[in-house]
A and B are shown apart, each in its own frame.
Chain A
């Protein structure tokens, strides 16, 4: 079984107002390809910090993070940018599409920064748009779309670079229950049918229920890791 990624004894300390905050005290997680993991935990549990580490937006104080054979934990800024562009797909709570770009242009953005924007990958953008059900809205701008549609576009964008995993931060946090359910259905389908690895951070139990595995954090440590 191939691993999507593995973190080993991940620690993160901040200095905040002269005091050292131990946000992560040593977290070890292994995620195999095709897994669907929900990360839960109350605020202050280190959930966001872990998310930032996994998303390569921040570097841990110590520990290892293996992603595609490399330890990315202590990489430089430009290298991390490249890792984000090629190996990770982001889905945010507030969709975070770029306002001045159309749907298809938004989907292209990671390819652009990854340096692999060409006719072939462009065709893939259209496929993905179709896959998430936006095939007829390619030329629309984010403001012309509903919340659910925007999140679908964001999901397509997160998959365009064929990442090791999709990192979804409260993907349904801004959506009503019907749309939430549609988005979660889409994620479930992508996981089942396309074998996409999904890491989802959420604080809602019923959202977490959709995942195959729930990891709970408390005070910067793993509290539980259960497979359902």
Chain B
């Protein structure tokens, strides 16, 4: 026990003899270990965020959206071509697929909302009363669209927080009227502000709930209709769309994938063009999990490379040390050191180096959250423009330290020290004592 302790003491002594050299060697391992923890934490942070956003869509939902097919019509064909989901689709899906618990038809278009001389451009959403619940919107004042309003095609509307604020900066909007196209709508409710959802999988655009106005879908059909004209650079463009989106809720999460298959087949049989897309958040969730795994492997690989580089640094230094201390090795051998004693001595030094590197690396790794926060703060101060243009996921990144990355990176660093220290140590032990003693 005493002798064992002495080996470590001796190792420490030799390392302290060359402080700068030891420090630089430790730095290599420090960077390796810290980067393992950092990269995994950043990867975990990103994938957790993605997962949360997908979960926000509802794991038991299937989302079908109308998409405009590529322009296939010949240029001389006049008039708008209808596309997208039909009310007929909605009825058929509901009546033929038993596993569908609930279906939400939505129709949305860009419109101008006016109140006296105030004007806001935004999204007009025709929907049913369940919409608020499914999209996790909360009512701030008044109430959301009711079944009665839906049935009576009432001219009532609910405003998103920001729209309400801009149209009614000084008064309570409830009971007031706003103007959309030629119609007046009575405001019955105002929603709480909500963060936007991320765009997922390409088929589902990011949804921003800040400039929405909600009206009963029946009202929208009666007042505005399926045919919409939009002005675009001097010409008019017409579109005929019955439904923008149908959100299906499946009765059991186990049936989601199967139901999605049925939905796809049912739609494919009636639509000549693929003018719709089916998004299954559960699918995305599975995908995100796979992506996360790949991400971890990838990040781990990068970090492993830096650890190996650190290990090579150790090996390099130890080889130099062994050469430099050839004479000392000779002396020790002459005084009775066995080969294994010499191996132990040099291994103790490399392990000390890598353990110190590992421990400081872990401490460095744990600062990940603070450092990113400081970095973000600094960037927002100094380069606000650049920050604004960065993707959301980068801007809001919050690293999540993966607990197992700490013992793992420590283990790897010690392992690296052992592996890369072994060769110099055995080389030292293999020296002929006579030759070593003669070494200048």
Residues of chain A at the chain B interface (Cβ within 8 Å): 52, 55, 57-58, 77-78, 81-82, 84-86, 90, 92, 96-101, 109-110, 112-115, 117, 157, 161
Contacts and interface: CB of A to CB of B under 8 A. Distances in A.
A186 to B, nearest CB: 20
Given A100-B13, A112-B3, A78 B338 contact: yes
A126 to B, nearest CB: 18
B331 A96 contact: yes
Nearest to A167: B334
Grouping DSSP codes into helix (H, G, I), strand (E, B) and loop, the B interface class, with mixed when no group exceeds half, is helix
A110 B2 contact: no
B331 A77 contact: no
B137 to A, nearest CB: 72
Contact of B334 (A86, A90, A101, A115): A90
Interface in B1-57: 2-3, 6, 13-14, 17
Contact of A92 (B328, B333, B340, B437): B437
B338 A113 contact: yes
A170 to B, nearest CB: 13
Interface of B: 2-3, 6, 13-14, 17, 327-328, 330-341, 433-434, 437
A12 to B, nearest CB: 12
Nearest to B340: A78
Given A78-B340, A92-B437, 17 more contacts: A52-B434, A57-B334, A57-B434, A57-B437, A77-B338, A78-B338, A81-B338, A82-B338, A84-B333, A84-B334, A84-B335, A86-B336, A96-B334, A99-B328, A101-B13, A113-B332, A117-B2
A78 B336 contact: no
A112 B6 contact: yes
A113 B433 contact: no
A82 B13 CA distance: 25
B434 A58 contact: yes
A113 B336 CA distance: 6
Contact of B339 (A78, A82, A98, A161): A78
A98 B336 contact: no
Determine which residue in B13, B335, B433 has the highest number of CB atoms from chain A within 10 A of its CB, and name it: B335
A100 B339 contact: no
9 contacts: A58-B434, A81-B337, A81-B339, A84-B334, A85-B337, A92-B437, A99-B328, A114-B336, A161-B336
Nearest to A115: B3
A205 to B, nearest CB: 25
B14 A100 contact: yes
Sorted nearest first, the 5 A-B pairs with minimum C-beta distance are A85-B336, A113-B336, A81-B338, A84-B336, A96-B331
A113 B335 contact: yes
Given A52-B434, A98-B331, A113 B337 contact: yes
A96 B328 CA distance: 8
Contacts of B6: 112, 117
A81 B334 CA distance: 7
B437 A109 contact: no
A117 to B, nearest CB: 7
